[in-house]
């Protein structure tokens, strides 16, 4: 049985940091902090200035666990209670969703909803509904 930990303080802190980062990116660069779009722009940049801010954001995302280790003395615990096959299938499905949804949860859910974008609100509701159904099926129907 997969157990979900209740961590309200850490969740609130992480959410606040994501929100602050999104606002800072919008005010300094004028771009939306959608992780998928940022990664796509690093892979296929339109120019050096465009690539540099995207690479900086990705470097920050990657170095986050190292900062936690420097502060606490240990790497954050990451538990993945599914098989590698399930991870690959999940990644493939997320890729399909990102493609058809024209963005990811960070772009639509954090930035788009904050701008009251109807398209982002619809996309985020779709993400959340699909996630809820998937969790129910995996935990209670399949029993994984």
List the Cα angle 140/3/122 in 5-degree steps. 65
Give the residue-averaged pLDDT of 56-67. Answer: 91
Interval 16-61: pLDDT, tens: 998 999 999 999 999 988 888 899 899 999 999 899 999 999 998 8
Does the global pTM surpass 0.95? no
Residue 5, pLDDT above cutoff 70: yes
Give the residue-averaged pLDDT of 104-118. Answer: 87
Burial of 54 (0-12, 13-18, 19+ CB in 10 A): buried
pLDDT of residue 1: 58
Separation CA 96–CA 92 (nearest Å)? 6
Sign of CA dihedral 123, 20, 35, 89: negative
Separation CA 13–CA 31 (nearest Å)? 23
Separation CA 110–CA 117 (nearest Å)? 11
pLDDT of residue 90: 84
């Amino acid at each position: 049985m997969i157990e979900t930990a209740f961590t309200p303080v850490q969740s609130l802190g992480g959410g606040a940091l994501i929100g602050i980062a999104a606002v800072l990116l919008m005010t300094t660069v004028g771009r939306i902090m959608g992780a998928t779009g940022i990664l796509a722009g690093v892979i296929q940049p339109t120019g050096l200035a465009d690539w540099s801010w995207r690479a900086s954001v990705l470097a920050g995302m990657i170095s986050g666990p190292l900062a936690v280790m420097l502060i606490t003395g240990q790497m954050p615990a990451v538990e993945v209670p599914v098989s590698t096959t399930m991870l690959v299938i999940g990644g493939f499905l997320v890729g399909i969703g990102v493609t058809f949804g024209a963005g990811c949860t960070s772009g639509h859910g954090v930035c788009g909803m904050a701008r009251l974008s109807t398209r982002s609100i619809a996309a985020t509701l779709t993400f959340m509904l699909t996630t809820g159904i998937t969790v129910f099926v995996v935990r209670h129907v399949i029993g994984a």
